């Protein structure tokens, strides 16, 4: 029975009970070579990125006017992002942002699905550093397009001072809006992605590791409860599948929303 | 003794902190269901806004879990 844990949780740093933040520690891939930053989770992110690039290259390879099955599938995936996120939120200015939005939704989706795929079984973004990186890119993007469109001074005024605020409230509104738009936004963007996957994976670990321990306890009643617990972990995996797709969508929608608020005309 | 109870009381605080966002998220989707029942063709537009509202409300629970581990 002891091989259930390495099968369902192969990339964990520590599979002792109870599962904690230490269970998410990375292992260096080449220990002793002085390149300990090359760890299993980073390699997983790189594989995810290569996978995304490969998928979109395959989809866009040798395009024809009348699409074949492969191109049709690619166009369907692209149109989903373009219509439900790009056009819906960014309106007529959606075109320059489509590559970023498509790239980010596919990268997050692939990495989240790693959490349920054999061989990996670990969502990359349950390591917060990766989520911070993505949020930083989105933060740079929406501020850069805003500054490019309005100039630095005008952009800061637009983002920190909504129209029609009386002069007496400026001292209150300006710091609040500044914190909300430049500090809270990227942090919640990263934390939302991270915490959903972290919490989900932690629950999976509780069921898998706990279930295995119960099975190995040698008491028949405990063993039965452990078996049910392992089975129940599959239901949690299914829930995580949903959460992974949802978080990829939400991250992209919010990025588009922030870009849209940065370039929106004043009314 | 197979399992012993241990851990941080922070988690109880986090459990309490999830109540607010839980009600908020429930309210958002309850409104979408109500709205869909009244006007089925507006479902797409309502869901788009609902997901953004859901993400913003959920941020409270997210900050909660971060603080539960950090503090």
- pLDDT of A138 > 90? The answer is yes
Residues of chain A neighbouring B52 (CB-CB closer than 8 A): 253-254, 257
Tokens representing A263? 């370039």
B27 touches chain A (CB under 8 A): no
Q: What is the pLDDT of residue A65?
A: 83
Q: What is the least distance, in Å, from the CA of A246 to any CA of chain B?
A: 9
- For the stretch A81-86, contacts whose Cβ atoms lie closer than 8 Å and that sit 24 or more positions apart, written own/partner, are A81/A105, A81/A252, A84/B48, A85/A249, A85/A252, A85/A253, A85/A256, A86/A256
| Distances B14 to A36, B9, B61, B71 between C-alpha atoms, Å | 34, 9, 8, 11
The DSSP 8-state label assigned to residue B26 in this structure reads H
pLDDT band at A176 (very low <50, low <70, confident <90, very high): very high
pLDDT band at A68 (very low <50, low <70, confident <90, very high): confident
- If one counts every other C-beta atom within 10 angstroms of the C-beta of residue A143, the result is 21
- pLDDT of A57 > 90? The answer is yes
- For the stretch A168-171, contacts whose Cβ atoms lie closer than 8 Å and that sit 24 or more positions apart, written own/partner, are none
The whole-angstrom separation of Cα A155 and Cα A145 is 10
Considering only alpha carbons, which residue of chain B is nearest residue A215? B2
- Indicate yes or no: pTM above 0.90: no
* Contact between A213 and B3 using a beta-carbon 8 Å cutoff: yes
| Nearest by Cα to A77 from A96, A94, A52, A97 | A52
Alpha helices in chain A (DSSP H): 4-8, 40-60, 69-81, 98-113, 128-150, 152-160, 170-178, 185-216, 220-263
Q: What is the pLDDT of residue B26?
A: 95
pLDDT one-digit tens code per residue, B13-61: 888 999 999 999 999 999 999 999 999 998 888 888 898 888 888 888 8
Q: Which residues contact A252 (CB under 8 A, 6 or more apart)?
A: A81, A85, A101, A104, A105, A108
* Contact between A191 and B59 using a beta-carbon 8 Å cutoff: yes
B54 touches chain A (CB under 8 A): yes
Residues of chain A neighbouring B6 (CB-CB closer than 8 A): 18
Q: Which residues contact A35 (CB under 8 A, 6 or more apart)?
A: A28
Q: What is the least distance, in Å, from the CA of A258 to any CA of chain B?
A: 11
* Contact between B48 and A88 using a beta-carbon 8 Å cutoff: yes
* Contact between B7 and A18 using a beta-carbon 8 Å cutoff: yes
The region, left, alpha or beta by phi > 0 then psi within -120 to 50, assigned to residue A121 is left
Q: Are A138 and A255 in contact (CB under 8 A)?
A: yes
Q: What is the pLDDT of residue B1?
A: 59
- β-partners of residue A39 are A28
- pLDDT of A55 > 80? The answer is yes
| Nearest by Cα to B46 from B61, B30, B59 | B30
SS3 B4: coil
Mean pLDDT check: name the lowest of A66-75, A133-142, A244-253.
A66-75
Q: Which residues contact A162 (CB under 8 A, 6 or more apart)?
A: A173, A177
* Average pLDDT in chain B: 86
Q: Are A248 and A80 in contact (CB under 8 A)?
A: no
The whole-angstrom separation of Cα A247 and Cα A196 is 8
Q: Are A123 and A115 in contact (CB under 8 A)?
A: yes
Q: What is the least distance, in Å, from the CA of A30 to any CA of chain B?
A: 30
pLDDT band at A97 (very low <50, low <70, confident <90, very high): very high
Tokens representing B43? 């479902």
* Contact between B58 and A192 using a beta-carbon 8 Å cutoff: yes
Whether ipTM exceeds 0.90:
no
* Contact between A250 and B6 using a beta-carbon 8 Å cutoff: no
Q: What is the least distance, in Å, from the CA of A187 to any CA of chain B?
A: 9
* Contact between A253 and B62 using a beta-carbon 8 Å cutoff: no
């Amino acid at each position: 029975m002891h091989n259930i844990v390495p099968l369902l949780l192969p990339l964990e740093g520590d599979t002792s009970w109870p599962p904690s933040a230490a269970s998410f520690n990375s292992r260096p891939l080449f220990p002793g070579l002085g390149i300990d930053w090359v760890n299993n989770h980073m390699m997983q992110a790189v594989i995810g990125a290569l996978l995304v690039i490969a998928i979109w290259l395959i989809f866009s390879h040798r395009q024809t006017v009348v699409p074949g099955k492969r191109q049709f599938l690619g166009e369907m995936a692209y149109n989903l992002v373009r219509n439900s996120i790009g056009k819906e939120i960014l309106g007529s200015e959606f075109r320059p942002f489509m590559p970023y939005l498509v790239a980010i939704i596919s990268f997050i989706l692939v990495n989240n699905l790693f959490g349920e795929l054999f061989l990996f079984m670990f969502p990359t973004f349950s390591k917060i550093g990766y989520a911070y990186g993505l949020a930083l890119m989105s933060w740079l993007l929406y501020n850069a397009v805003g500054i490019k469109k309005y100039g630095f001074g005008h952009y800061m005024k637009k983002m920190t001072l909504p129209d029609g605020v009386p002069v007496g409230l400026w001292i209150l509104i300006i710091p609040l809006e500044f914190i909300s738009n430049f500090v809270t936004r990227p942090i919640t963007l990263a934390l939302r992605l991270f915490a959903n996957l972290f919490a989900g994976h932690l629950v999976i670990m509780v069921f898998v590791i706990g279930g295995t321990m119960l099975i190995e306890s040698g008491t028949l009643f405990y063993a039965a409860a452990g078996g049910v617990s392992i089975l129940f972990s599959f239901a949690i995996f299914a829930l995580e599948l949903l959460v992974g797709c949802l978080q990829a969508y939400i991250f992209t929608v919010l990025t588009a929303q922030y870009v849209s608020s940065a370039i929106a005309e004043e009314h | 003794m197979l399992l012993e109870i241990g851990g941080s009381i922070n988690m109880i605080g986090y459990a309490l902190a999830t109540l607010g966002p839980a009600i908020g998220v429930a309210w958002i989707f309850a409104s979408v269901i109500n709205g869909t029942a009244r006007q089925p063709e507006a479902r797409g537009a309502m869901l788009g806004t609902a997901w953004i509202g859901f993400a913003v409300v959920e941020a409270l629970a997210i900050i909660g879990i971060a603080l539960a581990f950090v503090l």
